Structure 1
């Protein structure tokens, strides 16, 4: 801090012995830094909270109702299913049957055929959905109308599977179905509906599943494309790689974890969704589309063999969990190791 004062010659005493002309006298006063003014905070101290910090037990009691509801709708039915699978369950009568529900399935041809049809159905759905979904995602990525087109593609996925099955049932109808008329005009179909022939019924229900759930694969893949490193793509193009080679060498390896998650979600859904299949064919014609979930539904709720149905459901659940664990293990192996 500096204090500067100026004194003119008019105010000087006569006997001072020194003469000054104009403004010549300056007096400088140095103030040490120790007395410099310091900024003082005007924020008052935060008052002490009237409520003590919550304990972990408090948060547990907050979650307890949701935990009880989830336990009631999932854990209790799971153990009840295990109990029924080990008993012969009739109306008002439950008796132990020495694992007969499981041993009889080994010789049940409809049970074994249900597995085979389920594998065919899931394989065709997954192949078409992954191929079409990745193609649409690559075509839409960076497009001028990307948001509008993505919103339009998501509309089938927002439809309930039961309603989707009803819509396609009328489109496939041999009398007034528009798709049936188109396929018949192109010479692909005869007078019989696509759902009425055992040779084409499986293709019909696969097309419905592909139409409804391919947008999910497209959305997941599109999100994965946004995180592909652009510097790798540009470096590969500088080296002279074609767009197709660039896609195979750079884009696909970055999409692999995303596609694996999409495959896991879809195959688990194919193992349990039967809404559209029940509406379209009900497992027919004959047993051409009687995949295992359809057979499980008939055994449990059409013939009321609840013990046998519980055994089938338990086996289906165990196989689904094992396949899911295998996919997760493959996914973990493909992740880069952390140093």
Structure 2
């Protein structure tokens, strides 16, 4: 018995058996994540600090020439420039309409594709626009909008929806034409994300909803929608962050025209920084874009978290 006690000191402690792998203290994780944190800091914190520095200076482009400290002159010039606020208005209009259409159409497309007979083939076909580079997509649609041989231009003129002029040459139509390009290219991405969320919806809950007499629409809102909420958050954030900085379609299609009717803020930033080489002024614009992106992203996540705290939708809400 003595030998048994020495070999197994915890043999009588049946309620608390010894652990084979005890949990390591949290400081054990620091050496593991430190290299990744250092790389992220090098790629993000340093450029951010340099961006803040340039926003308060007039950056000299000549080699060896010192930068001139101008204080808040770049910020004062930015907030007093009507083109800056017009860029924000156009960006909000473009981003808001594009995101609503893409999320709505993408969700509808995902519901139609989910467990359809030719699901894999249809997914492959619908994902093809997403594989095209944004600049190439813009050039492709430029041919479709062309006033001489463009097929879409001919259809709109035949239907009487376009009275005169060209699509991209009209201040009333140019922005909506670019919205259509964005919706065509990125709706498949939203559909793919939502479709992955629909695969995780419990079948027993859907069947129970049908047995209770709920129709397809009510079953979607009461059962499927709460389950794909995380997928919708990802889709909205990805499209918002992409739309708020996109310039590819605008450069390929209009270049900001006609009459600055499509000069969204990212395109205005690009023009000031790399056409006029106002790097300090451009840095202040870039910082406001970054700040708005962070704030809106937090608000979007907060809205979905609030919806989760309230619980599933009631029949009155549906």
TM-score (norm 2): 0.82
Q: 1:336 to 1:112 in 2, by over 3 A?
A: closer
Which segment is superposed worse, 134-143 or 231-240?
231-240
Report the Cα offset of residue 131 of structure 1.
Answer: 1.3
**Higher RCO, 1 or 2 (CA under 8 Å, sep at least 6)?**
2
Alignment match of 2:71 (pick from 95, 98, 112): 98
Unaligned 5+ residue runs, structure 1? 1-54
CA contact under 8 A between 1:90 and 1:305: conserved in structure 2? no
Q: How many residues matched?
A: 280
Alignment match of 1:149 (pick from 119, 122, 127): 122
SS at match of 1:193: coil
In the TM superposition, what whole-angstrom CA distance separates every residue of 1:191-242 from its partner, at most 9, and x where no partner exists?
4221110000111000000000000110011111111122222222222222
Query: Is the strand fraction higher in 1 or 2?
Result: 1
Q: 1:185 to 1:78 in 2, by over 3 A?
A: same
Q: 1:86 to 1:172 in 2, by over 3 A?
A: same
1:290, 1:255 → 2: CA distance?
Answer: 35
Report the Cα offset of residue 146 of structure 1.
Answer: 0.2
Report the Cα offset of residue 76 of structure 1.
Answer: 2.6
Bigger-Rg structure (1/2): 1
Report the Cα offset of residue 94 of structure 1.
Answer: 1.2
CA RMSD across the alignment: 2.1
Counterpart residue number, 1:33: none
Unaligned 5+ residue runs, structure 2? 1-27, 311-318
Counterpart residue number, 2:10: none
Report the Cα offset of residue 121 of structure 1.
Answer: 0.4
Q: How does 1:1-339 map to 2 (within 5 A)?
A: 64=35, 71-91=41-61, 92-335=65-308
Counterpart residue number, 2:17: none
1:149, 1:215 → 2: CA distance?
Answer: 11
Q: 1:124 to 1:58 in 2, by over 3 A?
A: closer
